[in-house]
Amino acid sequence: MIFPTLIDDSRLDSYLIALKSLTEKKTVEWVFPKNIRISPAGMAILCCLVEAAKEKEVLIHFIIRGRRKTDALHFLNHLNSHVLSHKGVVSPSLYDYESENSLLIGRPSGLDLGFMEKMEPKFQLSDDLDFDCRLILQELMQNSIDHSGGERYFMYAGLWEKEIHCGVLDMGVSIPAKLRQKYDQPDDIQLLLLALKEGSTTRRERTGGLGLSHFRDVLRRNKGKLTVASGWAQIRFYFQTRNAQKSTLKYRLPGSWCFARIPWGGP
């Protein structure tokens, strides 16, 4: 599998091919081309793929073409030497990574609110932007813990091309699979749309369903972008142009990946 020169949240199908190959082979080669760039979201995607490979006991060989000391190569070397080569008991913070412009954690379970405390001083966010990023990440993190069935989740934040990117990814129970227990909808796209509406919830004891709809409002106010992929569905919201693209993924994503982007000129 040859990865694209830009790994980010834009062409998810190309990473889902890599995920699918993990169910077919016991050893895979992942080739990362010269001049590769990896956005903060791309880092979290790669962590999901590596975690899936480790769980399926598939051996991955990284072939890294570039030699220049870039952020992307530094991250790939971190994954290769720190995560892929790791033997023995897995530490909860095995995947944690920090560079000048990004923060990433992977947690097997439970809240990690320390992440939010690190964000504001690291990226020198304005008070409002810090609040919005906290709100988005906290809602996504809780959602992942509540619904994904105890799989490790990855949370990231970072600066990328005049935007702040943040999101949470997991490889647990997908949003459509969870909602299908309660709601009757024709396909995964409709179920995913329902998940983003106020008042839809799978909780029995405590009513909920406010979080995801509210953070959509936050992104709307900031003219941001939101991508949610889960099961067979992918929805991209462009709040500046008020467009939404709904599509069926070529390969099923066993889990939920949520990516938010907010335009930001810097501190």
What does the binding site for other proteins look like in residue numbers (CB under 8 A)? 111, 113, 116, 127-128, 130-131, 134-135, 138-139, 142, 206, 208, 210-211, 214
Q: For other proteins, which is the closer residue by CB, 66 or 211?
A: 211
Q: For other proteins, which is the closer residue by CB, 31 or 210?
A: 210
b/e per residue, 209-233, with b = 16+ CB within 10 A? bebbeebbebbeebebbbbbbbbbb
Give min distance, CB of 138 to other proteins, in A. Answer: 5
Give min distance, CB of 258 to other proteins, in A. Answer: 16
Give min distance, CB of 144 to other proteins, in A. Answer: 12
Distance CA 167, CA 41 (A): 7
Give min distance, CB of 232 to other proteins, in A. Answer: 28
Whether the CB-CB separation of 18 and 30 falls below 8 Å is answered with yes
CA distances from 204 to 63, 126, 178, 207 (A): 48, 37, 13, 7
Q: For other proteins, which is the closer residue by CB, 1 or 135?
A: 135
Give min distance, CB of 129 to other proteins, in A. Answer: 11
Spatial neighbors of 28 by CB under 8 A, at least 6 apart, are 1, 18, 21, 22, 53, 58, 59, 60, 61
Looking up tokens 């142009």 gives 241
Whether the CB-CB separation of 179 and 193 falls below 8 Å is answered with no
Distance CA 180, CA 187 (A): 9
E strand intervals along the chain: 6-7, 27-32, 37-38, 59-64, 97-99, 102-107, 153-160, 163-170, 225-238, 243-263
Give min distance, CB of 239 to other proteins, in A. Answer: 19
Q: For other proteins, which is the closer residue by CB, 39 or 201?
A: 201
Give min distance, CB of 238 to other proteins, in A. Answer: 23
Q: For other proteins, which is the closer residue by CB, 71 or 130?
A: 130
Q: φ and ψ at 65, to 5 degrees?
A: -75, -40
Q: For other proteins, which is the closer residue by CB, 98 or 128?
A: 128
Q: For other proteins, which is the closer residue by CB, 13 or 217?
A: 217
